[in-house]
Amino acid sequence: MTNAVQSPGKHRARAVAALLARWLLGGLFIYLGLSKVLHETEFLTFVRQQLMVTNPFLSGLIARTGPWLEVLYGLLLLAGIGREAAAVVARWWLGAVFIYMGLNKALPHPEAFLKLVRQYDMVTSPIWLNSIGAALPWFEVYCGVLLLVGLGVRGAALNLVAMLVPFTLIVLKRALVLAAASSVPFCAVRFDCGCGAGEVFVCHKLVENSVLLLLSAWLLTGRGRQLCMRYSLFRPKDQASGERP
């Protein structure tokens, strides 16, 4: 009797939490898109230098349309239109982002990423530093590929959360140290955090990481199953038992 009374309340609380998370994610996407629109020159430089799109027409097209696509995606999330399709797009976008970030760290100068890792003073052992510098970029690529093709989606998303949470806290700590040392406002702090995008403003980077975390958490809830090669690597127990002779 108690469980029957409590279950509607729990269901309502989960629905409200999911709604608030969706609104937050939509608002963050709108912010990211509009910030690129307002700083079009900087975003165009990023497209040409970091994404290595040197063709003037193509780079200009990406710089003009990409931010508005983010705004449109944010509006769709706020409105709750096509949630499953939006989750599939989120899975593809998240996978592509981590493939790009991993390859940008690993190629063509992996020693540059190793120097960036050293600035955080996380570990002092050369063995650990070299292991992180060599393995982390390719692990990001691996997780990105799994999300892109839809293979073991929840496991890949969980690994991304496990990487993003400590990395975001480390970036926050580093930015606080730099802000205190240079006596500048926190959001005016700009440095290369090692994410593969060059120098970034820390507040913008924290927003980006929040978006990546929310998208990963969204996929952990079971969204984005469409167009998957194999969403789960393990069969459900009821399905496995039903196939036994």
Query: 131-188 pLDDT, tens per residue?
Result: 888 899 999 999 999 999 999 999 999 999 999 999 999 999 999 999 999 889 999 9
Listed by start position, the domains of the chain span: 1-81, 83-245
Angle, CA of 73, 79 and 80, to the nearest 5°: 85
Question: Helix 126-149 to helix 110-118 angle, to the nearest 10 degrees?
Answer: 120
Contacts 24+ apart (CB under 8 A), 132-136: 134/110, 136/102, 136/105, 136/163
Q: Residue 57 and residue 59: Cα distance in Å, rounded?
A: 6
Q: Which residue has the higher pLDDT, 126 or 69?
A: 69
% of the chain residues with pLDDT over 70? 93
List C-alpha distances in Å: 155 to 125, 143, 152, 234.
29, 9, 6, 11
DSSP state of 188: G
Which tops the pLDDT comparison, 17 or 95?
95
pTM: 0.85
Q: Quick one: pLDDT at residue 241? A: 47
- Write out pLDDT tens, residues 69-112: 999 999 999 998 888 899 999 999 999 999 999 998 888 778 88
Assign 26 a pLDDT band (cuts: 50, 70, 90). very high
Length of the chain, in residues: 245
Apex 15 CA angle, 14 and 20, nearest 5: 95
Nearest CA to 23 out of 78, 102, 71 is that of 78
